[in-house]
């Protein structure tokens, strides 16, 4: 069996239930990916940014949960920008095509 891929999940805190479903999926023994959680409930300081960048660097790619909340989530936007700077693959999932196109992940 191939090694599991490490996936960093970027999401707006309001979308935590969607994140929880992805996290649950990764716990299955036959799941092809491992989940990295960097969710925070406090302000995004420089130490948080360093830890996030390190985890993004260790990941094989970034999965973005795209929703109407993404438009106002400064932390999620920063995570996506960081992933792009580090040349990581970024893929988005969302409930509708319209939202994904609006957010331009």
User: Which architecture characterizes domain 5-103 according to CATH?
Assistant: 3-Layer(aba) Sandwich (3.40)
pTM of the model as a whole:
0.80
| Structural domain boundaries in the chain | 5-103
Cα separations in angstroms, 26 against 35, 81, 84, 97: 6, 24, 24, 24
Q: Contact at 8 Å (CB) between 10 and 82?
A: no
Q: What is the pLDDT along the chain (105 residues), one digit of tens a residue?
A: 567 788 899 999 899 888 888 888 777 777 777 776 666 656 678 888 998 999 899 999 999 999 999 999 999 999 999 999 999 999 998 875 554 444 444
């Amino acid at each position: 069996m191939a090694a599991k891929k490490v996936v960093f999940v970027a999401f707006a805190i309001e979308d935590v239930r969607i994140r929880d479903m992805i996290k649950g999926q990764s716990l299955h023994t036959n799941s092809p990916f491992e989940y990295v959680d960097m969710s925070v409930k406090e302000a995004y300081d420089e130490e948080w940014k360093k830890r996030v960048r390190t985890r993004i660097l260790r990941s094989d790619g970034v999965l973005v949960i795209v929703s109407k909340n993404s438009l106002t989530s400064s932390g999620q936007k920063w995570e996506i920008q960081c992933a792009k700077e580090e040349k990581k693959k970024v893929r988005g999932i969302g409930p509708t095509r319209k939202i994904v196109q609006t957010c331009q992940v």
